[in-house]
Structure 1
Amino acid sequence: MMKKMRRWVKQWMTERMELPADVMMNLPRITMVGHLHIYIENHRGVLRFSRDEMRLRLDDGQLLIRGSGFVIKTILPEEILLEGKIISVQYVFENETGRG
Protein backbone atom coordinates (compact mmCIF):
# COMPACT_ATOMS: atom_id res chain seq x y z
CA MET A 1 0.00 0.00 0.00
CA MET A 2 2.78 2.44 0.93
CA LYS A 3 4.65 1.70 -2.31
CA LYS A 4 1.54 2.61 -4.35
CA MET A 5 1.10 5.84 -2.38
CA ARG A 6 4.73 6.88 -2.95
CA ARG A 7 4.40 6.12 -6.64
CA TRP A 8 1.20 8.19 -6.84
CA VAL A 9 2.86 11.15 -5.05
CA LYS A 10 5.87 11.01 -7.39
CA GLN A 11 3.62 10.83 -10.42
CA TRP A 12 1.51 13.76 -9.16
CA MET A 13 4.63 15.87 -8.51
CA THR A 14 6.02 15.00 -11.93
CA GLU A 15 2.84 16.10 -13.68
CA ARG A 16 2.15 19.22 -11.60
CA MET A 17 5.69 20.53 -11.40
CA GLU A 18 6.59 19.46 -14.95
CA LEU A 19 9.64 17.54 -13.76
CA PRO A 20 11.30 14.83 -15.88
CA ALA A 21 9.58 11.50 -15.23
CA ASP A 22 12.78 9.48 -15.56
CA VAL A 23 14.34 11.43 -12.68
CA MET A 24 11.34 11.63 -10.34
CA MET A 25 10.03 8.10 -10.82
CA ASN A 26 13.31 6.23 -11.45
CA LEU A 27 12.19 5.29 -14.94
CA PRO A 28 14.80 4.02 -17.37
CA ARG A 29 16.00 6.43 -20.04
CA ILE A 30 16.81 4.50 -23.20
CA THR A 31 18.71 6.04 -26.10
CA MET A 32 19.30 4.04 -29.28
CA VAL A 33 21.51 4.90 -32.22
CA GLY A 34 20.06 2.91 -35.09
CA HIS A 35 20.30 -0.78 -34.30
CA LEU A 36 23.98 -0.62 -33.28
CA HIS A 37 24.11 1.09 -29.85
CA ILE A 38 21.79 1.34 -26.88
CA TYR A 39 22.46 3.50 -23.82
CA ILE A 40 20.35 2.83 -20.72
CA GLU A 41 20.24 5.03 -17.62
CA ASN A 42 18.48 4.29 -14.30
CA HIS A 43 18.89 0.50 -14.36
CA ARG A 44 19.42 -1.46 -11.13
CA GLY A 45 21.93 -4.04 -12.33
CA VAL A 46 22.69 -6.64 -14.98
CA LEU A 47 20.75 -9.87 -14.49
CA ARG A 48 22.05 -11.71 -17.54
CA PHE A 49 24.52 -11.01 -20.31
CA SER A 50 25.57 -13.02 -23.36
CA ARG A 51 26.57 -12.22 -26.94
CA ASP A 52 22.88 -12.25 -27.95
CA GLU A 53 20.89 -11.18 -24.86
CA MET A 54 21.02 -8.73 -21.99
CA ARG A 55 18.58 -8.47 -19.06
CA LEU A 56 18.67 -5.44 -16.81
CA ARG A 57 16.85 -5.05 -13.51
CA LEU A 58 14.57 -2.01 -13.26
CA ASP A 59 12.57 -0.69 -10.30
CA ASP A 60 9.37 -2.37 -11.50
CA GLY A 61 10.53 -5.11 -13.84
CA GLN A 62 13.22 -5.90 -16.36
CA LEU A 63 14.50 -4.68 -19.70
CA LEU A 64 15.25 -7.48 -22.17
CA ILE A 65 17.47 -6.68 -25.16
CA ARG A 66 18.02 -9.28 -27.88
CA GLY A 67 20.35 -9.26 -30.83
CA SER A 68 23.84 -10.48 -31.71
CA GLY A 69 27.49 -9.62 -31.20
CA PHE A 70 26.86 -7.75 -27.94
CA VAL A 71 29.75 -6.02 -26.21
CA ILE A 72 29.43 -3.85 -23.10
CA LYS A 73 31.32 -0.67 -23.95
CA THR A 74 30.64 1.20 -20.69
CA ILE A 75 29.14 0.07 -17.41
CA LEU A 76 28.49 2.27 -14.38
CA PRO A 77 26.26 1.68 -11.34
CA GLU A 78 23.13 3.05 -13.10
CA GLU A 79 24.25 3.42 -16.73
CA ILE A 80 25.28 1.02 -19.45
CA LEU A 81 26.29 1.31 -23.10
CA LEU A 82 25.73 -1.82 -25.15
CA GLU A 83 27.05 -2.25 -28.69
CA GLY A 84 26.04 -4.88 -31.22
CA LYS A 85 23.17 -5.66 -33.58
CA ILE A 86 19.97 -4.91 -31.63
CA ILE A 87 16.92 -6.85 -32.80
CA SER A 88 14.44 -6.15 -30.00
CA VAL A 89 14.01 -4.22 -26.77
CA GLN A 90 11.25 -5.43 -24.44
CA TYR A 91 10.05 -4.07 -21.11
CA VAL A 92 8.92 -6.92 -18.82
CA PHE A 93 6.78 -5.89 -15.84
CA GLU A 94 7.23 -7.49 -12.38
CA ASN A 95 4.16 -9.72 -12.60
CA GLU A 96 5.46 -11.14 -15.93
CA THR A 97 8.86 -12.01 -14.39
CA GLY A 98 7.34 -14.11 -11.62
CA ARG A 99 8.41 -11.68 -8.89
CA GLY A 100 5.07 -10.14 -8.07
Structure 2
Amino acid sequence: MAKKWANSLRKWMALKMELPTDVAMDLPRVTMVGQLHIYIENHKGLLVFTDTELRLLLKQGQLLVKGKSFVIKTILPEEILLEGKIEEVHYLNE
Protein backbone atom coordinates (compact mmCIF):
# COMPACT_ATOMS: atom_id res chain seq x y z
CA MET A 1 0.00 0.00 0.00
CA ALA A 2 2.86 2.39 0.84
CA LYS A 3 4.47 1.76 -2.57
CA LYS A 4 1.24 2.67 -4.37
CA TRP A 5 0.93 5.85 -2.29
CA ALA A 6 4.57 6.79 -3.04
CA ASN A 7 3.99 6.33 -6.79
CA SER A 8 0.87 8.52 -6.63
CA LEU A 9 2.84 11.18 -4.77
CA ARG A 10 5.64 11.09 -7.37
CA LYS A 11 3.14 11.47 -10.22
CA TRP A 12 1.46 14.40 -8.47
CA MET A 13 4.81 16.10 -7.78
CA ALA A 14 5.93 15.61 -11.39
CA LEU A 15 2.71 17.20 -12.61
CA LYS A 16 2.88 20.16 -10.20
CA MET A 17 6.60 20.78 -10.73
CA GLU A 18 6.32 20.16 -14.50
CA LEU A 19 9.06 17.52 -14.38
CA PRO A 20 9.36 14.85 -17.08
CA THR A 21 7.65 11.65 -15.93
CA ASP A 22 10.73 9.50 -16.58
CA VAL A 23 12.76 11.64 -14.17
CA ALA A 24 10.17 11.77 -11.40
CA MET A 25 9.17 8.10 -11.65
CA ASP A 26 12.72 6.73 -12.17
CA LEU A 27 11.68 5.19 -15.50
CA PRO A 28 13.99 4.26 -18.38
CA ARG A 29 14.08 6.46 -21.47
CA VAL A 30 14.53 4.47 -24.69
CA THR A 31 15.36 6.30 -27.94
CA MET A 32 15.67 4.42 -31.22
CA VAL A 33 16.96 5.64 -34.56
CA GLY A 34 15.39 3.27 -37.08
CA GLN A 35 16.74 -0.23 -36.54
CA LEU A 36 20.34 0.99 -36.29
CA HIS A 37 20.79 2.56 -32.85
CA ILE A 38 19.10 2.35 -29.46
CA TYR A 39 19.98 4.72 -26.62
CA ILE A 40 18.78 3.73 -23.15
CA GLU A 41 18.97 6.04 -20.15
CA ASN A 42 18.22 5.35 -16.49
CA HIS A 43 18.91 1.61 -16.41
CA LYS A 44 20.27 -0.10 -13.31
CA GLY A 45 22.93 -2.31 -14.87
CA LEU A 46 23.99 -4.56 -17.72
CA LEU A 47 22.93 -8.19 -17.23
CA VAL A 48 23.70 -9.85 -20.60
CA PHE A 49 25.51 -8.73 -23.72
CA THR A 50 26.20 -10.76 -26.86
CA ASP A 51 26.27 -9.81 -30.53
CA THR A 52 22.54 -10.76 -30.71
CA GLU A 53 21.15 -9.81 -27.28
CA LEU A 54 21.27 -7.02 -24.71
CA ARG A 55 19.52 -7.34 -21.35
CA LEU A 56 19.41 -4.46 -18.86
CA LEU A 57 18.14 -4.32 -15.30
CA LEU A 58 15.50 -1.65 -14.72
CA LYS A 59 13.98 -0.36 -11.49
CA GLN A 60 11.02 -2.63 -12.26
CA GLY A 61 11.91 -5.63 -14.41
CA GLN A 62 14.29 -5.84 -17.35
CA LEU A 63 14.67 -4.56 -20.90
CA LEU A 64 15.57 -7.11 -23.59
CA VAL A 65 16.85 -6.07 -27.02
CA LYS A 66 17.38 -8.71 -29.71
CA GLY A 67 18.97 -8.39 -33.14
CA LYS A 68 22.24 -8.88 -34.99
CA SER A 69 25.78 -7.48 -35.06
CA PHE A 70 25.46 -5.62 -31.75
CA VAL A 71 28.28 -3.32 -30.65
CA ILE A 72 28.18 -1.16 -27.52
CA LYS A 73 29.27 2.30 -28.65
CA THR A 74 28.94 4.03 -25.28
CA ILE A 75 28.38 2.67 -21.78
CA LEU A 76 28.05 4.81 -18.66
CA PRO A 77 26.63 3.92 -15.22
CA GLU A 78 23.01 4.66 -16.27
CA GLU A 79 23.27 5.09 -20.05
CA ILE A 80 24.09 2.83 -22.98
CA LEU A 81 24.25 3.32 -26.74
CA LEU A 82 23.89 0.13 -28.76
CA GLU A 83 24.50 -0.16 -32.50
CA GLY A 84 23.48 -3.03 -34.78
CA LYS A 85 20.35 -4.36 -36.44
CA ILE A 86 17.61 -4.11 -33.79
CA GLU A 87 14.80 -6.59 -34.38
CA GLU A 88 12.94 -6.74 -31.03
CA VAL A 89 12.60 -4.68 -27.84
CA HIS A 90 10.74 -6.22 -24.88
CA TYR A 91 10.01 -5.17 -21.31
CA LEU A 92 10.18 -8.16 -18.97
CA ASN A 93 8.34 -7.89 -15.66
CA GLU A 94 10.39 -10.29 -13.58
Task: Please tell me the TM-score bracket, short chain as reference.
Answer: over 0.9
1:82 aligned residue: 82
Tell me the distance in 2 between the aligned counterparts of 1:16 and 1:35. Answer: 36
Partner AA of 2:4 in structure 1:
K
Q: Distance in 1 between matches of 2:15 and 2:88?
A: 30
The Cα shift of 1:57 comes to 0.5
**Cα offset, 1:59, TM superposition:** 0.5
Q: Distance in 2 between matches of 1:38 and 1:52?
A: 14
> CA–CA distance in 2 between the matches of 1:65 and 1:9?
31
Residues 28-54 of structure 1: per-residue CA shift (max 9 Å, x gap): 111111101000000000111111011
Q: Is 1:29 aligned to residue 29 of structure 2? A: yes
- Give distance in 2, aligned partners of 1:2 and 1:68: 42
Give the alignment of 1:20-99 within 5 angstroms: 20-93=20-93, 97=94
State whether structure 2 residue 5 is matched by structure 1 residue 5: yes
Unaligned stretches of 5+ residues in structure 2: none
Aligned-pair distance for 1:8? 1.6
RMSD: 1.1
Query: What is the aligned partner in structure 1 of residue 15 from structure 2?
Result: 15
1:11 Cα deviation from its structure 2 partner: 1.3
TM-score, with normalisation over the residues of structure 1? Answer: 0.87
Q: CA deviation at 1:18?
A: 2.7
